[in-house]
Amino acid sequence: MNFSEIANAVFKQVIDTYHIINTVDQPFTNSYIKETHLLEHLLYRKCWIDTVQWHYEDIIRDPKIDPVAALALKRQIDASNQDRTDMVEYIDSYFLDMNKDVVPNSDATINTESPAWGVDRLSILALKVYHMHEEATRENASLAHRDACQTKLNVLLEQRVDLSSAIDQLLHDITTGVKYMKVYKQMKMYNDDELNPVLRGQK
């Protein structure tokens, strides 16, 4: 199996598992042991974070949500975003280590995004596919709604094929020295007590 086949299979497993209980408060258990299946372990954790956050975003858009609950949920979304970014960096570190002995070609170029940020988009795309399929087959929805969602689903499925191919090609190019990669820490400022002037003013 190539990388995207592994990733898409893990993402489907995560999303299907989440929706058995289908609540953001359910406990998390990684199906893959870190010591023996590190890549799958990282991908599983990454997609679980994305899946829970997807549903956080649904909940917080409830126009009747209690303002206190909304603020608490906003804090959870902020924490989830940080976890998401951290996992992207962990996955990129995996790719860096995997290719540590590769000597890039003299004319090697860098990509606009690292492999793991492509993986991030692939994970979100898996969620879009799942939920758009739900809407395209929802029996209590109108035929027009289902048809419109099926059209969107077809585009998402095509997009997944293209994105999967692009990620596999990028990883191949890195492995063969055609491309090289760097990992830039995100350096987010709004969570930092010293860099966010509002937080700094509270000290």
| DSSP string covering 166-193 | HHHHHHHHHHTTSEE--------STT-T
pLDDT over threshold 90, residue 5:
yes
Cβ 160 vs Cβ 125: under 8 Å: yes
**195 pLDDT tier (thresholds 50, 70, 90):** low
The span from the CA of 46 to the CA of 83, in Å, is 8
Q: What is the pLDDT of residue 189?
A: 65
**Placement of tokens 């058995």 in the chain:** 20
pLDDT top residue among 3 and 185: 3
pLDDT over threshold 80, residue 73:
yes
The span from the CA of 186 to the CA of 197, in Å, is 18
Q: Which two tokens stand for residue 10?
A: 């893990």
- Give the whole-number percent of the chain exceeding pLDDT 90: 89
The span from the CA of 183 to the CA of 186, in Å, is 9
pLDDT over threshold 70, residue 69:
yes
Q: In sequence order, which residues have a C-beta less than 8 Å from that of residue 65 and are 6 or more positions away?
A: 59, 73
Q: Which amino acid is at 6?
A: I
pLDDT over threshold 90, residue 200:
no
pTM beyond 0.85: the answer is yes
pLDDT over threshold 90, residue 197:
no
What ranges do the domains of the chain cover? 3-192
Question: Tell me: the pLDDT tens digits for 132-177?
Answer: 999 999 999 999 999 999 999 999 999 999 999 999 999 999 999 9
**185 pLDDT tier (thresholds 50, 70, 90):** confident
Specify the DSSP element, H or E, that contains 110.
Answer: strand 109-110
Beta bridge partners of 140: none
Question: Tell me: the pLDDT tens digits for 88-126?
Answer: 999 999 999 999 999 999 999 999 999 999 999 999 999
Q: Which two tokens stand for residue 190?
A: 């709004």
Q: How many other CB atoms are there within 10 angstroms of residue 194's CB atom? A: 9
Q: What is the pLDDT of residue 190?
A: 66
